[in-house]
A and B are shown apart, each in its own frame.
Chain A
Amino acid sequence: MATPAIEFAGVEKIYRRRITGQDVVALNNVSFQVGRGEVCAFLGPNGAGKTTSISILMGFLYADSGAIRVLDYEPGDVRAKAQIGFLPENFAFYKYLNAHKLLRFHYALSGGNPKDSVNLIGDLLHKVKLTGYDQLKIGKYSRGMVQRIGLAQALLANPQLLVLDEPTSGLDPAGRKEVRDIMFALKAEGKTIFLSSHLLSEVEQICDRVIIIDRGKVQQSGRMDELLAVGDRVEIVASQLPAELEPRLAELAATIERGPQAVRIVVATAHKRELAEKLWASGADVVSITPLRSSLEELYMKTVGAGPAQPTVVAPGILGLPV
């Protein structure tokens, strides 16, 4: 069985303020795993401990206790780093370099001969839509272009694990879609992606796994589909709703939504079979039966607080309308 790409077990990190002597607990017994080939969202409000966790994962910070493994190595081990592509939040760069020189420099730091990198760099710049700007000094780049060159350097050494901290920050909608497409392509190639982002709708589209951290503790961790499945209600889409069934649906407190070509009924999971059979028996065609799931945003707000008291439940199915 393949070992996880990332493994945190009981990780703790405390920042000590020198002047006041106060201890600030940044991470408190943080444990999670990210499997190889998974795309994992790492979510949480500002100050939750995301950047600290990523810094520990990359070997920039040392944890006070706990065990961390990255691609089977200790964090910061060059054998692990050789397989990691990292895009830090607010990617900083040598402003006097152009894109080509920056990537050549990073290629050399990865142990390659910069002379061999010309084609690779050309391809990467094309991939992140920076062809034509490669001779412009990065100091003159817009925020979005900086983010693109940051992504290019993260992809430079054909990494097995990508650690991306806010990769779409500063990008316009088209740029965000391009980055999302790149991530889908990387996912298809079997790369592991550890993604920190505040754009929950994007994360929900891409990620297989989600970890929500708040106040230094992991509040939620698991597969996206499992965490988002509400479990107690299903959505039944039928071609029509016979009038004789309406009293029974009222008894079951079902929600009914009539569309031009179909009727959408949300009912407790316990009554799923009964209702489906009655629909069939009355001559209606049952198009689909789908367990309802909440959105990632709802899960997030519910987990970190300040969310709506009753989450709005949406179905990912045919209609996709709020119930």
Chain B
Amino acid sequence: MKLKALALETFRSFFHNRLILVLLIIWVLAVLVSLLPLLAMKAATAAQGPAQTQAVVLSFVSGIMNAVSAFGSLLAAWAAADCVSSEMTSGTILAVMARPVKRWEFLTGKFAGVMLLMSIYVLMMLGLSALLAEIGGQRIHSSIWVLLVYPLIRYAIWAAIAIALVTMLRPIATMGIFLLLGIVISMASTPGFAKDYAMVRHFLDALNWILPSTNLLSETRFLEITHASLKQAGWIEHLTTISYGLDYAFVCLLLAMWSFHYRNLKRD
């Protein structure tokens, strides 16, 4: 009951958070605006044959979905960091933690609230994928569960990392780290970026081990919408990947709980 109450209240609080609402509105507008060049592109390449149209359209769609997915990662991180830190800055945490709530329960409830938000985001993403595929004259070949579970796990990892960081650092420092990570991951995802720089290559290799979203939980695994480009993975591979992702998120959350357990709770 306590966890449910904390999770639902955290979830509700996001819909009263002006910054999140503004970001979501901007997100929706950006996606809508991006549909115009997509349609124009489709019309322009129509005369060159279906294969050419498909290649151009899908490349564009892939770009949009990558951006949407990356925004989701930032949203998960920001929402997780904010929902814990805002309790500290406003002082609401004092009344909440005066209740018979354990510190790990508080963090778990917050995490669950963030995951509720991200579930809605993933559903929106799925709808957008379907819409873009329809506009591009294609259909989604991947299983629906893959499109739901993979991004959710990735967002769970980001949320857990954010909660772990915000229990140790100030929110602004947490978001600074996340933006830095985002830039590094973009670089790591760019093919051939580190080809000529051994040091950068080693760094990115290490990052692939540290941050699963750049490797095992790669964006490309579930965002491509054609049968040809979708990597067909077996059950064992799915299970391994999902277990790895869940384990990663769990370890980060444990780290957050450990850090939060020893933290002084006061109005920041």
- What is A's interface to B at a CB cutoff of 8 Å? 55, 58-62, 78-79, 81-82, 84, 86, 88, 90-96, 105-106, 108-114, 150, 153, 157, 163
Cβ contact within 8 Å between A93 and B95: yes
Enumerate chain A residues within 8 angstroms of B91, measured Cβ to Cβ: 88, 90, 92
Cβ contact within 8 Å between A81 and B13: no
Interface of chain A, main secondary structure: loop
Enumerate chain B residues within 8 angstroms of A58, measured Cβ to Cβ: 94, 97-98
User: Which residue on chain A has the smallest CB distance to residue B16?
Assistant: A96
Cβ contact within 8 Å between A153 and B95: yes
A105 to B177, CA, bound (A): 33
Enumerate chain B residues within 8 angstroms of A105, measured Cβ to Cβ: 5, 9
A112 to B99, CA, bound (A): 11
A290 to B202, CA, bound (A): 87
A109-B5, A109-B6, A111-B100 in contact; A91/B265 too (CB < 8 A)? no
User: Which residue on chain B has the smallest CB distance to residue A84?
Assistant: B98
Cβ contact within 8 Å between A86 and B264: no
Cβ distance A117 to chain B, nearest Cβ, rounded Å: 12
14 contacts between A and B (CB under 8 A): A55-B265, A58-B97, A60-B266, A61-B266, A81-B99, A86-B94, A88-B98, A90-B91, A91-B95, A108-B4, A109-B5, A112-B1, A114-B5, A150-B95
User: Which residue on chain A has the smallest CB distance to residue B87?
Assistant: A92
Enumerate chain A residues within 8 angstroms of B90, measured Cβ to Cβ: 92
Cβ contact within 8 Å between A109 and B266: no
A88 to B97, CA, bound (A): 11
Enumerate chain A residues within 8 angstroms of B197, measured Cβ to Cβ: none
Quick one: which of B16, B101, B264 contacts A109, CB cutoff 8 A?
B101
Enumerate chain B residues within 8 angstroms of A94, measured Cβ to Cβ: 9, 13, 92
Q: Mask for B76-115, Cβ within 8 A of A = 1, else 0?
A: 0000000000000011101111111110000000000000
Cβ contact within 8 Å between B4 and A78: no
A109-B99, A113-B1 in contact; A96/B265 too (CB < 8 A)? no
Cβ distance B179 to chain A, nearest Cβ, rounded Å: 24
A92-B267, A111-B2 in contact; A79/B100 too (CB < 8 A)? yes
Enumerate chain A residues within 8 angstroms of B9, measured Cβ to Cβ: 94, 105
Cβ contact within 8 Å between B96 and A109: yes
Enumerate chain A residues within 8 angstroms of B235, measured Cβ to Cβ: none
A88-B91, A92-B91, A96-B16 in contact; A110/B267 too (CB < 8 A)? no
